[in-house]
A and B are shown apart, each in its own frame.
Chain A
Amino acid sequence: MAVFRWGQPWDPFRDLEREVDRLLASVSLSMQGLRFGRQFPPVNLYALDNELLLTAELPGVRPEDLEVTVADGVLTIKGKRLGPEGVPDERYRRQERARGTWQRSFSLPERVEEDRLSAEMANGILTIRLPRAPTPQPRQIKVADGNA
């Protein structure tokens, strides 16, 4: 039996395209170091039995420079990555690492317990744990007899 869903189901690629457009429009100017046409940070999303796991490659980002928020099924991560202080451009012999401020949002594919979300940074990898919300049980609704 097909289950009717309100709105669109999770479609990462559509979300990605939308994100790319938005990033190009708003943030790209501040991310001059990102010349690979790749989104920053790249993320993976895994499904485990009782939680979803989002990982992001964020080398050099300190936890205090990172903000993770969730509201209404949309997870947002934003932050900044700075270069070494006091090093003028002419001192660089090679510059390949991305820097600047960035922000990304993801609509979550299913309901999660937003109060129980947790995030940690280790070795430049951000890991966000999203506990899956229990599937709501179907509830019987009594239909009153309007003729009574």
Chain B
Amino acid sequence: MTDEQPLAAMPGPAAEASKAEPQIVFTPPIDIFETEDGLVLLADLPGVSADTLELQVQDNKLTLFGKVRPPVGDDARLLHQEYRVGHFLRSFILSDEVDHERITAKLNHGVLEVTLPRVKRSEPRRIHVSSPG
């Protein structure tokens, strides 16, 4: 009962956002591993809080979008920069093996953890065949 590709990552758009909100969007790094009950997805979303995270399942697509607020006001002068502040966006295709209704998620210290349980298969049921007469 293994599915080779239950999750296929699609690269998120890494494009400039609209002019009204001059923010960039990044594709966050992720881990996916198997457990007894299904799959777990971890995504690095530094600066994203539960209030600013949107997680959506539509049809067979799981989309995460995390907004990041700038850490300082406009009056701060940037002396040195190694990372840019931007939002995070990434989408995944879910296989039929994943029970969409039971997907849960939590956010720990800027890491999103999505639990994707496998669909429960019912036990084989014996069907009594009656013979006429």
Interface positions of A (Cβ within 8 A of B) = 10, 12, 38-39, 42-49, 52-53, 55, 57-62, 83-84, 87, 91-98, 109, 121, 123-125, 127
Contact = CB atoms under 8 A, between A and B. Distances in A.
Contacts of B101: none
A93 B81 CA distance: 33
Contacts of A124: 44-48, 109-111
Contact of B46 (A47, A57, A84, A109): A57
Contacts of A98: 29
A121 B82 contact: no
DSSP class of B's interface residues: helix, strand, loop or mixed?
Answer: strand
A59 B85 CA distance: 14
Interface of B: 7, 9, 29-35, 39-40, 42, 44-49, 71-72, 75-83, 85, 107-111
Given A58-B110, A123-B110, 17 more contacts: A42-B83, A44-B71, A44-B78, A45-B81, A47-B77, A47-B79, A48-B75, A49-B75, A92-B32, A95-B31, A96-B30, A97-B31, A121-B109, A123-B46, A123-B48, A124-B45, A124-B110
Contacts of A10: 79
